[in-house]
Amino acid sequence: MAALAVGAALFSVSANSRQERTTNSRVQKGSAAFYSPVLEGHKTACGGRYEASELTAAHRSLPCGTRVRITNTKNGKSVEATVNDWGPTTRNRIVDVSQAVAEKLDFVKQGTTTVKVEIVH
C-alpha cells in the first residue's frame, strides 16, 4: 500500500470546509480528519509505518519530517506533529492526523474539525 491516505478508511469529512491561505504561507486553515485504527501498521508515503499512538500528520505539500503545530480552532488546543505521509486525498481537507493528535486536539468523537497548521521547522 503506497500511502495511508485512503479516503474510505478515514473518518467522516466536513463537506463545507474550505482551505484558506493566510498572508504567511507557513500557516494554513481548513478541515482535518484522523486515520482509522484499521490502518495501524500500514506503510506511509515517507517509508515508515503508521502508528495511531504517534503524533503524526499527512499533508499534500510539506515534505516528510516537517514539524507542524496543529491547532483546533474550535477549542484552542494545539499539538506539534511530524509529517510522515502524503494526503489527505479528500480535497476539502488540508491535513489528516493520527488518532493521538486527534485525541490531544479533542475531536475524536466529531471525526473532523477546523484547524490551523503552522510550520514549526
**Model confidence pLDDT, tens digit, residues 61-84:** 999 999 999 999 999 999 999 999
Q: Average pLDDT of the chain?
A: 83
Which helix (H) or strand (E) covers residue 32, if one does?
A: strand 27-34
Cell numbers for 100, please give them: 493521538
Q: Which residues pair with residue 81 across a beta bridge?
A: 68
Mean pLDDT of 52-65: 96
Kindly report, residue by residue over 9-19, the tens digit of the pLDDT. 333 333 333 44
pLDDT at 9 (0 to 100): 33
pLDDT at 37 (0 to 100): 84
The number of beta carbons lying within 10 Å of the beta carbon of residue 23 is 5
pLDDT at 20 (0 to 100): 41
- In this prediction the pTM is 0.80
Does 8 have pLDDT greater than 70?
A: no
> Is residue 105 very low, low, confident or very high in pLDDT (cuts 50, 70, 90)?
very high
Does 114 have pLDDT greater than 80?
A: yes
Q: Please, are residues 94 and 5 in contact by the beta-carbon 8 Å criterion?
A: no
Domains with residue ranges and CATH for the chain: 26-119 (2.40.40.10)
Residue located via cell numbers 484552542: 76
Exposure string over 63-95, b if 16+ CB within 10 A, otherwise e: eeebebebbbeeeeebbebbbbbbbbbbebbbb
Higher pLDDT among residues 58 and 26, named by residue: 58
Type of residue found at 107: F
Residue 97 to residue 81: CA distance in whole angstroms? 8
